[in-house]
A and B are shown apart, each in its own frame.
Chain A
Amino acid sequence: QVQLKETGPGLVQPTQTLSITCTVSGFSLTSYYMQWVRQTPGKGLEWMGFIRSGGSTEYNSEFKSRLSISRDTSKNQVFLKMNSLKTEDTGVYYCAREGAYGAFNWGQGVMVTVSS
């Protein structure tokens, strides 16, 4: 059974760095692209970037300067790190597995609040 679960800090202070872990089961990270998407009150759903099955990455230019996606295949984990957080970054962050035609199967998401 395919499962994706995000874990993160919940509350982050402005200007600090956000770190979220996506732990997967039921499939191999070396066989699928893994995506990160966020949902914010201001902009709705936004694609952030992905890590390919081979380990290379692509980022939305909107986030490119402050976003990093990586993985540890031995632990079945994918990581998102984003620095210089602002209050507008408050929202739900999802990891998703890319399937046929580029469609996503989503994790449950993790709520992140950026506030002092």
Chain B
Amino acid sequence: DTVLTQSPALAVSPGERVTISCRASESVSTGMHWYQQKPGQQPKLLIYGASNLESGVPARFSGSGSGTDFTLTIDPVEADDTATYFCQQSWNDPFTFGSGTKLEIK
């Protein structure tokens, strides 16, 4: 299975730029997606196909990467962005998820 590795946690101040990384154990081309999950809620799609912004998601969110290395950028960060961010790949069978990066806004 394709293992997706994410850093467990980050802490930033409002107004800063934050990058969240996801590294795949094998190539997933651009079949990488990013989700935001707040406590008690379902994951919400932010970025699909590595770099495409989901409709209704603020342009502060952006994604980049291909192959094995991917990044979700939030610029500028707002207090409401406190959440866990997951990456997911849909290129290889089975689909797999990262363990999530918990973002704290100081």
Total A-B pairs, Cβ < 8 A: 62
- The complex places the Cα of A106 from the Cα of B88 at a distance, in Å, of 13
**B95:A102 contact, CB within 8 angstroms:** yes
Main secondary structure of the interface of B (DSSP, over half): loop
Q: Which of A37, A100, A104 has the most B CB atoms < 10 Å from its CB?
A: A104
Inter-subunit contact B44/A106 (CB<8 Å): yes
Interface size of B in residues (CB-CB distance below 8 Å): 24
Distance of A47 from chain B, by nearest CB (Å): 4
Interface size on A, residues (CB 8 A): 23
Least CB distance, A94 to chain B, in whole angstroms = 6
Which B residues lie at the A interface, using CB under 8 A? Answer: 30-31, 33, 35, 41-45, 48-49, 52, 54, 86, 88, 90-91, 93-97, 99-100
